[in-house]
A and B are shown apart, each in its own frame.
Chain A
Amino acid sequence: MSAVWRASRAAVKRRRLQAFVIGLVVLCSTTTVLLALGLLDVATSPFDKAYAAQRGPHTVAAFDPAKATPEQLAQTARRPGVTAAAGPFGQSVLDVPKGWLWMPGGSLRVVGRADPGGPVDRVEVLEGRWATAPGEIVVAWPSAGTPGTELLGTTLEVPGSAPLTVVGFAAGMGKSADAWVSPEQMTALRPATAQMLYRFSDSATQARLDAALARATAGLPEGALTSAHTHLDLRKAFSSLADAYLPFMTLFGVLGLLVSALIVGNVVSGAVVSGYRHIGVLKALGFTPNQVVAVYLAMTAVPALVGSAAGTLLGNALAGPVLRIAFSGIETGRAAVGGVSSWVSVVCLLGMPALVVLTALVPALRAHRLPTARAISAGSAPLTGRGLRVQRVLAGSRLPRAVSMGLGQPFARPGRTLLTLAAIVLGVTTVTLATGLTSTMLAYSEAGRGGGALVRVEAGGPDNGRAAPLLGDARIEERLRSLPGAAGVRARALAQVTLVGQSRPAFADFYRGDDASSAGRIAEGRMPGAAGEVVAGPAFLTQNGLRLGDRVTLALGGRQTSATVVGELIEGNARALEASWDTLLPLAPDARAVEYEVRLAPGADARAYAAAAEATDPGLRASVSDAGNTATTTVVAFSTVFTVLLSAVASLGVFNTVLLGTRERRRDLGMLKSIGMTPRQVVLMTVTSVAGVGAVGGLLGIPLGILAHRLVVDNVGVVSFPESMKAVWDAPQLSGLLLAGVAIAVMGALVPARSAARTTIAAALHTE
């Protein structure tokens, strides 16, 4: 065993507590960094990651089988620029009746595929199995979760062919089909189109994708290619939702990295500086300066390696549930977004010890240059000239002496104090940001609520497969209004309308009745009050290029009506808008409500009301509305996890500072106790030495946190918070936040302070 290693081992053993602190800080920091990097990794390109995992097609191309043979199409897969291809698959369009499965009726794009895997567009079977024989069909499930097994076995009548039985539900991010059948069944359906799925080496832009497709299909007869759509269209629709959370998540990730780096730097440089005397002794024994540096680096690297390994394990264990919560509100398709890439673990495992060693290198190199005699005397040498004037002023103040001495201590070690201050500032910034976000999100989740519980009463009909109500629309509303506990009733009709000039259809909700609480859902403008007025969420307005005051034309069943955008909702579906019932009448004069929202009086029994509503008419189904809100849960849960972790790391930084301080001042503490300083006064002095720094940290961290909060809430794409939800700060809350800095400091200082109070005086006074 080399002398360097032996000395390093001895140093770690002798400084068990300090090694433990370094290990613990590195553990917490690694966990935070792993979560932050995992978050950034997942949040940066969730669609691309999920899409790549499913080998999603960059381009889905449709060909005319009368002009290009299957052999010709298969050859396109071997053209330059094509990295993978699948097909040709037969494609046919079937008509489905209104109310088949969950569909509003219309057409179903069916593709014949022998299996769900392959080099491109790996489809995941969610329920049941893949269609392998004629007469079987697998239907694409469009959203999160699964439809359940009860819909398996549903049949679809096909004109001129045997009926198709649903044997499975599947999902593919490529959206290459609405349903799949076996190739044999597809032949029976007489496909009018041949589908090819391509992945290209260059898929970054629409122009490059067009060029790549042109190269691949260059040899085909003219007119063979009938249509194509690319993954960029899908990504645009996806990212409008996922991007909404990115500012918030990125900010927390960056904060995590900053705090961790700062604390590690503080802890390690403190450990090296406090070990100058030990360095001097080693030099006196004959260790070369380089060997001394090596001893010190090894001494800090050992606990850092252990801490980073444990932190990587803990971070990976936490990452699953934390990221699942974080992305639970985002439409991620079927690919698992919750996992952390292995490179993140590797970076943490190697990067954190490297960071520790690099941080240790700077003070260790100072020790390298330090003359031996000076190094030996370091630690006990008087530190004249540092903050002495401040200490004199404090000594003459009316403050209790233990307090004034504590307040003066940060000035004796300004560098260390600044590092500690920075850690507390970032800790308070995090707490402020989290508090603000929680307040905003809670206000947001309360928007449009108020009064008592909300009961939704759904009318039966072809859309849900239940019997229609016996009572008329107006009569139902009247009955619901008359039931005990009802404070307000709002009827809703739903229609899939076309926005003239837009390619995608929109879902429009038309309301009539009491809407007293709906004003709280408006971020800007007002709710529709008359015919020809609509409102929508920010995602809808952005995607359709609309602003307040713009005119739109709604079309339904051959009728049209124009409307003005009079308000922006705080949030809303990217494909949905809202209007008053009067706007629906020109489009569908005979329309009736599909649902009634009943706001109960405060204290009314929601379950009793729901039972009474169902008893009114057998065609009604009532449910008590769930108060939960995915976005609120996501943001609040994530804020809490990061706040706890970062506050703990910041407190550990303070803990280390105080520990080093009390060890360096061991002789002073012994002397103070010998002249009558009580243990309580020792604790008071030690805690005060960082409480002042904590208070300053609070003062600096609060405005930074408020700024960060404003930055986040102004950039959450799918939610447009009104000013009332952004201005969440009040005097008691700010006072509480000011205490957060002090609390972080006191939490970190308490243990070493109590330990200092128990110092054996006799031993401390003989350390000369």
Chain B
Amino acid sequence: MTTDHDTARQVVVRLDDVHKEYGDAKALDGVCLEIHAGDAVAVMGPSGCGKSTLLNMVAGLDRPTSGTVEVQGHDLGELNETGLALFRRRHVGMVFQFFNLIDDLPALDNVALAAQLTGTPARQARRRALELLDELGVADRRNNYPATLSGGERQRVAVARALMNRPALLLADEPTGALDSRSGEQVMDLLIDLNQMGQTLLIVTHDPELATRCASRLVEVADGRIARQSVLEATA
């Protein structure tokens, strides 16, 4: 479903007849999807329907069996492993259900890490990381190790890390799945704020509340296919 308004905006993600098979099992079966700049798209569906596989395709973490995945004009099928790594570094930020922070690094260094991998000097990377932690309200926890942070704080640090290289697309896989309701609320508010500032979002979730509050468009997946797409009204 594409509107005239969408056509005017830049296409960030385009999936064209994407198939993904694991042996005999079909995880994705002919998926076509477009996401435009500034969109907040929520992907929902039952367990095993293929929604995480869809996210992995867009992030370049996995390759389709057939079909085309384009993000920011890059055909991911044409990139080798190094090319995919550089693509993720420049264009994509990822937030996971279980945070995936490095336990050996304090919050500030976890965030700075993403920029340091691109060759940004440590001091400059830490300055930017501190700004982000400050914006997300966890600057006072910058020297804490992940083990000493609450779930909500860990996820905020993870979001800061995802935003470190100013990605065109922020991908979130069940970002509130491991959080209590209060922390979940905070993360939801954070995602809404980010989208309102122009950040394109693709969120995979089981949580209808998260989808309706944060997303402007809902994509429902069943048996590896997009069963339905609908425009949501903002409730925030």
Chain A interfacial positions (CB closer than 8 Å to B): 382-384, 386-388, 391-392, 395-398, 400-402, 408, 412, 667-668, 670-681, 757-758, 760-762, 765-766, 768
Task: Tell me the count of chain B residues lying within 8 A, CB to CB, of chain A.
Answer: 43
Q: Which residues of A contact B134 (CB under 8 A)?
A: none
Q: Which residues of A contact B151 (CB under 8 A)?
A: none
- What is the total of A-B residue contacts with beta carbons within 8 Å? 105
Q: Which residues of B contact A397 (CB under 8 A)?
A: 122
Contact A668-B147, Cβ < 8 Å, known A674-B61, A680-B82, A761-B61: no
The one of A387, A679, A765 that contacts B100, using a Cβ cutoff of 8 Å: A765
The one of B82, B94, B103, B122 that contacts A675, using a Cβ cutoff of 8 Å: B94
Contact A674-B100, Cβ < 8 Å, known A382-B146, A384-B145, A762-B62: yes
Q: Which residue of B lies closest to A678 (CB)?
A: B85
9 nearest interchain CB pairs? A676-B89, A382-B103, A382-B147, A401-B116, A678-B85, A671-B100, A768-B98, A761-B61, A762-B56
Cα distance, A383 to B123, chains bound together (Å): 26
Cα distance, A652 to B81, chains bound together (Å): 28
**What are 25 A-to-B residue pairs whose CB atoms are below 8 Å?**
A384-B145, A388-B104, A388-B145, A391-B105, A392-B105, A395-B109, A395-B112, A396-B122, A396-B126, A397-B122, A401-B117, A412-B104, A672-B117, A674-B61, A674-B100, A676-B89, A676-B90, A676-B117, A677-B117, A678-B85, A678-B86, A680-B82, A762-B52, A762-B56, A765-B96
Cα distance, A396 to B97, chains bound together (Å): 29
Contact A679-B89, Cβ < 8 Å, known A401-B116, A668-B102: no
Q: Which chain B residues (52-78) contact chain A, with CB distance < 8 Å?
A: 52, 56, 59, 61-62
Check B145–A677 contact: CB distance below 8 A: no
- Whether a CB of chain A sits under 8 angstroms from the CB of B213 is no
Residue from the set A382, A402, A680 with the largest chain B CB neighbour count within 10 Å: A382
Q: Which residue of B lies closest to A674 (CB)?
A: B94
The one of B81, B85, B121, B148 that contacts A398, using a Cβ cutoff of 8 Å: B121
Residue from the set B102, B119, B147 with the largest chain A CB neighbour count within 10 Å: B102
Check A675–B147 contact: CB distance below 8 A: no
Q: Which residues of B contact A768 (CB under 8 A)?
A: 97-98
Check B113–A401 contact: CB distance below 8 A: yes
| A395-B112, A673-B85, A674-B59 given; 4 more Cβ-contact pairs under 8 Å | A395-B105, A675-B89, A675-B94, A761-B61
**Minimum distance in angstroms from A96 CB to a CB of chain B:** 84
Cα distance, A401 to B81, chains bound together (Å): 19
Cα distance, A109 to B200, chains bound together (Å): 107
Contact A675-B88, Cβ < 8 Å, known A382-B145, A668-B102, A762-B56: yes
**Minimum distance in angstroms from B124 CB to a CB of chain A:** 12
**Minimum distance in angstroms from A410 CB to a CB of chain B:** 12
- Whether a CB of chain A sits under 8 angstroms from the CB of B114 is yes
Cα distance, A402 to B109, chains bound together (Å): 13
Cα distance, A392 to B144, chains bound together (Å): 12
Q: Which residues of A contact B101 (CB under 8 A)?
A: 671
Q: Which residues of B contact A408 (CB under 8 A)?
A: 104
Q: Which residue of A lies closest to B112 (CB)?
A: A395
Cα distance, A83 to B177, chains bound together (Å): 87
Check A391–B126 contact: CB distance below 8 A: no
Cα distance, A244 to B45, chains bound together (Å): 80
Q: Which residues of A contact B122 (CB under 8 A)?
A: 395-398
Check A676–B165 contact: CB distance below 8 A: yes
Q: Which residues of A contact B118 (CB under 8 A)?
A: 676
Cα distance, A150 to B85, chains bound together (Å): 78
**Minimum distance in angstroms from B158 CB to a CB of chain A:** 9
Q: Which residue of B lies closest to A682 (CB)?
A: B85
**Minimum distance in angstroms from A387 CB to a CB of chain B:** 8
**Minimum distance in angstroms from B72 CB to a CB of chain A:** 14
